[in-house]
Amino acid sequence: MTIEDLMDFDLFIDLSDEQLNAVLKVCHRQTFKRDNMIVIEEEAGTNLYLILEGKVKISRISDDGREVILSILTEGDFFGEMSVIDGSTRSANVTSIDNSELIVIKREDFMSLLHQHPQIAINLLEELVARLRRSDQQIKALSLQDAVGKVASAILRLAENEGIIKNNEVIINKVPSQQDLANMAGTSRETISRVLKSLSNDNYLTKDGSKIIITAYDRFKMDFS
């Protein structure tokens, strides 16, 4: 692991090489195979995780036993910060979607870094605010929109987090399974299939295997944000 690996994370943006080397000293690398549970809701939170490679889903189990996916994170993202900061138990489950390689920082080491390097704390606050705004949008989508709007909002979140934008077209590679999309949108797998077909017929997007291409991103955002 090198400081170049750390520079891929917004959490460490604007740090000097000396500061990055201080971070590097407390980092450990850990790998998880696909569908491995990384974090379990309600367990003690002792580590911060940063995603070097792969993709994970943040989820909770509803009262009726359904999985609700709160977010999907990929390279450059991090998770576990809430329990690390306040010392409480984990608020959600985290499961690897792909084979994943993570950087792990112990709670006591990360808290020490926050005290020694205030820029990390500023970067962390900016990311937490951005996540709160996205959560507000997600709550609005789930509570106010119809099935098409809920699915479209889930696709928009994927586009914003991991889409490749070029000439008003967004390519989302390796879209989650239809069941995972359903869990993100708060609907059923059958509804996902029907809505994707409808969005395709209305020329909002095309689907090619595990890839979705939003063909007119501005129009898509205007109609479904």
Q: What is the CATH number of the domain that holds 194?
A: 1.10.10.10
Where a domain ends, among 99, 120, 139?
139
Query: How many angstroms separate the CA atoms of 101 and 50, rounded?
Result: 9
At 54 the three-state DSSP class reads coil
User: Which domain-ending residue is among 104, 139, 174?
Assistant: 139
Give the containing element (helix H, strand E) for 32. Answer: strand 27-32
Q: Are residues 122 and 88 part of one domain?
A: yes
Q: How far apart, in whole angstroms, are the C-alpha atoms of residue 203 and residue 201?
A: 5
Kindly state the DSSP code that residue 47 receives in the 8-state scheme.
E
Instruction: Tally the domains of the chain.
Output: 2
Instruction: Report the C-alpha gap between 151 and 30 in whole angstroms.
Output: 33
Task: Give yes or no for a contact between 82 and 65, defined as CB atoms under 8 angstroms apart.
Answer: no
Residue owning tokens 């995972």: 180
Stretch among 13-22, 26-35, 149-158 having the lowest mean pLDDT: 149-158
Length of the chain: 225
Task: Say whether both 107 and 42 belong to one domain.
Answer: yes
pLDDT tens per residue, range 60-69:
988 888 888 8
Residue 125's domain comprises 3-139
Task: Return the number of other C-beta atoms located less than 10 Å from residue 150's C-beta.
Answer: 24
**pLDDT value at position 222?**
86
Q: Which of 31, 43, 161 is nearest to 92 (CA)?
A: 43
pTM above the 0.85 mark?
A: no
Mean pLDDT of 40-50: 92
The pLDDT value recorded for residue 143 is 65
Q: What are 140's strand-pairing partners? A: none
pLDDT tens-digit readout, 171-211:
998 888 889 999 888 888 899 999 999 999 999 999 888 89
